[in-house]
Amino acid sequence: MKEKYLDDLREIREMMNRSSRFISLSGLSGISAGITALVGAYLAHHTLQSYQHELGHHPTDLPVEVLFRLLIIALFTLVIALATGIWFTTRETQKRNLKIWDAQTKRLLINLFIPLTTGGILCLMLFLKGFAGMAAPLTLVFYGLSLVNASKYTLDEIRSLGLLEIALGLLAFYFIGYGLIFWAIGFGILHIAYGLYMHLKYKS
DSSP 131: -
* pLDDT score of 196: 92
> Which residues touch 35 (CB under 8 Å, ≥6 apart)?
188, 192
Decide which of 196 and 100 is more confident: 196
Quick one: three-class SS letters along 134-185? Answer: HHHHHHHHHHHHHHHHHHHHCCCHHHHHHHHHHHHHHHHHHCHHHHHHHHHH
> How many C-beta atoms surround the C-beta of residue 54 within 10 A?
16
pLDDT of 3 above 70? no
Task: Decide if 196 contacts 31 (C-beta within 8 A).
Answer: yes
Cα 152 to Cα 15, 39, 157, 158, 180: the distances in Å are: 15, 31, 10, 9, 30
What pLDDT, in 10s, does the model give residues 75-101?
899 899 888 888 887 887 777 776 767
What is the reported pTM?
0.81
> How many C-beta atoms surround the C-beta of residue 171 within 10 A?
16
* pLDDT score of 22: 45
User: Please, which pLDDT band fits residue 165 given cuts at 50, 70 and 90?
Assistant: very high
Q: Is the dihedral of CA 106, 190, 118, 85 positive or negative?
A: negative
pLDDT of 155 above 50? yes
Among residues 147, 151, 149, the alpha carbon closest in space to that of 190 is found at 147
Task: Decide if 12 contacts 181 (C-beta within 8 A).
Answer: no
